[in-house]
Amino acid sequence: MRFLSQIFQPVITIPKGAKIKNTEITCKSQKLLMECGLVRPTSSGLFTILPLARRSITKLENIIHHCLEEVGAQRLSLPCLTSAKLWKQSGRIDSVGPELIQVEDRHGKRYLLAPTHEEAIADLVADIGPLSYKQLPFLLYQIGNKYRDEHRPKHGLLRSREFSMLDAYSIHASDACATNTYNVVTDAYKKIFRTLDLPVHRVQAPPGDMGGRLSHEWQLPAAAGEDALAVCPSCHHAARARQPGACERCGADTCAVNSIEVGHTFVLGARYSEPLLAGFVAPDASTAPVHMACYGIGVTRLLSASVEALSSEKALRWPAAIAPYSAVVIGPKEGSKEWSAHGFDRVQDVARRVEQNAFRDDVIVDDRHQLTIGKRLMMADRMGYPHIVVCGRGALEAPPRYELFRSGDAEPRALDLNELLATLADQRIRQPVDAGADYGESAG
């Protein structure tokens, strides 16, 4: 069990229009994450992820791990540094150019801090190949830090120079097989966003510098988004568009909304395998380039985008599955009448029972008993904990009753301990993926 007084959470107050270490405050998610002690800028476009935000990211990574492992993906870790010669072979070093952070070692060999790993995967396949068609298809993935030399980093984690990303790559003997796996991974993406309860739209998009024959962006509506969608309120179809019009699917009028790209998927064909000589041996003993597809989700961007979409200007709101803690327990103020009857030992017992019955290892106790309940309740609401349990005046009753505040509820509920535990356990059961499952340390 964790106690809030022991959490490293450097809360700050940012004056309106302020700049913090050359970081302009340009959106509410950036402001709230910094003010609430979840991230800290180190320089333009670079951030330290502090413990509570790190917990949320770990939960998000666990959801992604679960959904990808469920469709047969295999996890690996690739180096952050990729040889520049591979990007020259693919032709991307010039087209992507200014966004690449390049370095040179003491031997004069050039590398880049990879923003993505298509070349590295194709080189891996080439190095161990040619593969037999019997070894195909397979799906590899990692979650790690990526790098992009943004011309003007902004919006905090939404557009930074270093960011955490899921990148996955599937290898195939045919375009039909690549398309089939693409559809399977699309279903996994849908489960990820359904677990987060976020209205993310898959929209067809140009492949751009990545190349390939098919590309989809995964867009989350949010006012601070720099992309735009036309969304049909009737059939919920969405398309990239700056202006509303008639929906191509049902003909109804669409609505224009700003959005944030949180993922991108591509069917690449031989775009990388051909120049990098990644091939396979067919049943007739002929050789051909493998077909590839790739899949990305910006993990830190998705975290920030979800906060951007759900929060108010004054308080954080999380997808329940990735809140830093699912529940916080607030005890009476020290020295009060309630404290005499329901002191710290009993507060800890309530928290322990909530952990055992509902949120395993996911409950924190606000043990700052020198503060009033009202003050701590206000701070807990600003942090956006999905469930706030208050041991207040009702704890003097027989049996004791506890106030349960939940995000989205207009009023708290007064419940005895059994009712409280049953209500919270029901919330846990409704989660389609256990965000607290242990999938090991994240790469990077």
What are the pLDDT digits (tens) for 280-313?
Answer: 999 999 999 999 999 999 999 999 999 999 999 9
For residue 387, give the 3-state DSSP assignment: strand
Res 22: pLDDT: 62
181 — pLDDT class (breaks 50, 70, 90): very high
Give pLDDT tens digits for 343-369: 999 999 999 999 999 999 999 999 999
How does DSSP classify residue 4? G
Mean pLDDT of 87-99: 92
Phi, psi (5° rounding) for residue 357? -100, -20
Answer whether residue 65 shows pLDDT above 80.
yes
Answer yes or no: are the C-beta atoms of 224 and 154 closer than 8 Å.
no
Res 439: pLDDT: 65
How, if at all, do strands 387-390 and 327-330 pair?
A: parallel
24 — pLDDT class (breaks 50, 70, 90): confident
Helical packing angle, 51-69 and 299-310, nearest 10°: 110
CATH code 3.30.420.340 for 2-310: no
Mean pLDDT of 174-201: 97
- Chain-wide mean pLDDT for the chain? 94
Q: What is the pTM of this model?
A: 0.95
Give pLDDT tens digits for 368-424: 999 999 999 999 999 999 999 999 999 999 999 999 999 878 899 999 999 999 999
Answer yes or no: are the C-beta atoms of 260 and 220 closer than 8 Å.
yes
How, if at all, do strands 81-83 and 74-75 pair?
A: unpaired
Answer whether residue 443 shows pLDDT above 50.
no
Answer whether residue 341 shows pLDDT above 80.
yes
How does DSSP classify residue 36? T
Strands (E), 190-247: 201-204, 214-221, 227-231, 238-240
The one-letter code for the residue type at 34 is M
Res 441: pLDDT: 46
If we measure between CA atoms, which residue out of 292, 276, 402, 289 comes closest to residue 351? Answer: 402
Res 442: pLDDT: 39
Answer whether residue 19 shows pLDDT above 80.
no
Tell me how far CA of residue 82 lies from CA of 148, 308, 430, in angstroms: 13, 33, 42
Quote the CA–CA distance of 32 and 312 in Å, as a whole number. Answer: 9
Q: Which residue is listed with tokens 């597809």?
A: 293
Q: What is the CATH number of domain 325-429?
A: 3.40.50.800
- Give CA angle at 105 (101, 110), nearest 5°: 50
Instruction: Report the run of H or E that residue 46 belongs to, with start and end.
Output: strand 46-49
Strands (E), 222-299: 227-231, 238-240, 255-269, 279-281, 287-289, 291-298
Residues 6+ apart with CB under 8 A from 322: 56, 57, 59, 60, 63, 196, 303, 306, 435
Q: Which residue is listed with tokens 């990388």?
A: 272
Answer yes or no: are the C-beta atoms of 423 and 356 closer than 8 Å.
no
End-to-end CA separation in angstroms for the chain: 27
Tell me how far CA of residue 166 lies from CA of 39, 220, 378, 387, in angstroms: 20, 17, 35, 29
Answer yes or no: are the C-beta atoms of 139 and 72 closer than 8 Å.
yes
In total, the chain counts a number of residues equal to 444
The pair of three-digit structure tokens given for residue 137, joined into one six-digit string: 């298809």
Q: Which residue intervals of the chain bear CATH 3.30.930.10?
A: 2-310
Three-class HEC string of 342-408: CCHHHHHHHHHHHHHHCCCCCEEEECCCCCCHHHHHHHHHHHCCCEEEECCHHHHCCCCEEEEEECC
Res 434: pLDDT: 77
Answer whether residue 444 shows pLDDT above 50.
no
Res 61: pLDDT: 98
Q: Which residue intervals of the chain bear CATH 3.40.50.800?
A: 325-429
Give pLDDT tens digits for 138-153: 999 999 999 999 988 9
Res 56: pLDDT: 98
Answer yes or no: are the C-beta atoms of 364 and 355 closer than 8 Å.
no
The one-letter code for the residue type at 46 is L
